[in-house]
Structure 1
């Protein structure tokens, strides 16, 4: 399968999931600023929406949207416990985390990346983000990972999104549980492998 990614973007989450899974894959850079693929072709010809991640399966079927892609990857290797089994309450809790990260954190960062966004709007977005991070800090108390002792695809996603705090001027030091959690995730060999592949070390 092929994963189209942009270095350091949210596509790092399925990139981590692929490394955790051990599944054979090809990761292809599709930078969001240029939309030019390594061979010089236009990424819009692959994905008309132009954003990442985008997963193309061996039969040519495509999947878009990170939370769907990472669950697909996890379900290919159930023994790795990257996602609880479908139909279980734990699976719905995983989906709840993926939705929270996607809508409350990921999209919360979006205005901060937009140079055209007025400073007042950025300040409001930042204030809302800090509230969500404070809540998250409490949820991480006494836990190794979001779902307990097992690393799941939600952890890869949370790690990637919270990577954006530093470049966006958000100090995570008031959230020691989150900082310690990020250290645990960062130390995982698969996370290091995905980061290295994207040239982020």
Structure 2
């Protein structure tokens, strides 16, 4: 498999999941500002030639097919490596809860942060509304994580890979996390995992 990624983007979640699952994969770096590949493919560095949607993550499977959407890719990766227990078995209430958190990160955090808080042209009223919604969800996560180590219980899963990648955007955007001590502790706990650190180092987000 090949993961098309941009350092620190939501593709980090899939990168972490692949590392945690112990699956073989290669990386293809994408500059989202210019939509170009770090290394040319078929004589071109145009990322749109590879992915018409123009965003990451994109996962190319061994059969050559290419797939996007972080939440679906995370479930796929988890199902490829059941021994890693990154998602509970299908049809269980535990699976329902885990996918619920995965979906919440996707809809209530990821799509509130992006694109609105990343673009200078976003109206200030829209920016403030987005920040208020993020703060509401951060407070919810803080309460939830005060009584458990990970989103769906006491075991790390793909929802945590996604949550970690997205919540960390607050630091980049200089949004204070001090009001959320349990959430801060959670980020540190996830970052300390060896496979998570492996992904961070590979993307140049941490030192080896």
Shorter chain as denominator, the TM-score bin is over 0.9
The aligned counterpart of 2:14 is 14
The yes-or-no answer on 1:173 pairing with 2:146 is no
TM score, norm. by length of structure 2: 0.94
**Whole-angstrom CA distance in 2 between matches of 1:6 and 1:119:** 27
The aligned counterpart of 1:116 is 121
The yes-or-no answer on 1:152 pairing with 2:147 is no
The yes-or-no answer on 1:68 pairing with 2:82 is no
The yes-or-no answer on 1:99 pairing with 2:103 is yes
The aligned counterpart of 2:25 is 25
What is the DSSP-based 3-state SS (H/G/I as helix, E as strand, rest coil) of the residue aligned with 1:30? strand
The yes-or-no answer on 1:138 pairing with 2:143 is yes
Structure 1 residue 140: Cα displacement: 1.1
Deviates further, 37-46 or 51-60: 37-46
Q: Give ranges in structure 2 of 5+ residues lacking alignment.
A: none
**Whole-angstrom CA distance in 2 between matches of 1:135 and 1:122:** 20
| Higher relative strand content | 2
The aligned counterpart of 1:39 is 39
Deviates further, 180-189 or 140-149: 140-149
Deviates further, 184-193 or 89-98: 89-98
Structure 1 residue 145: Cα displacement: 0.7
Greater than 3 Å deviation, 4+ residue runs? none
What is the DSSP-based 3-state SS (H/G/I as helix, E as strand, rest coil) of the residue aligned with 1:95? helix
**Whole-angstrom CA distance in 1 between matches of 2:146 and 2:39:** 46
Q: Give ranges in structure 1 of 5+ residues lacking alignment.
A: none
Structure 2 contact 28–39 (Cα < 8 Å) conserved: no
Structure 1 residue 38: Cα displacement: 2.2
Structure 1 residue 167: Cα displacement: 2.0
What is the DSSP-based 3-state SS (H/G/I as helix, E as strand, rest coil) of the residue aligned with 2:3? strand
**Whole-angstrom CA distance in 2 between matches of 1:88 and 1:43:** 39
What is the DSSP-based 3-state SS (H/G/I as helix, E as strand, rest coil) of the residue aligned with 1:120? helix
**Whole-angstrom CA distance in 1 between matches of 2:136 and 2:47:** 36
What is the DSSP-based 3-state SS (H/G/I as helix, E as strand, rest coil) of the residue aligned with 2:141? helix
How many residue pairs get aligned? The number is 201
The yes-or-no answer on 1:52 pairing with 2:56 is yes
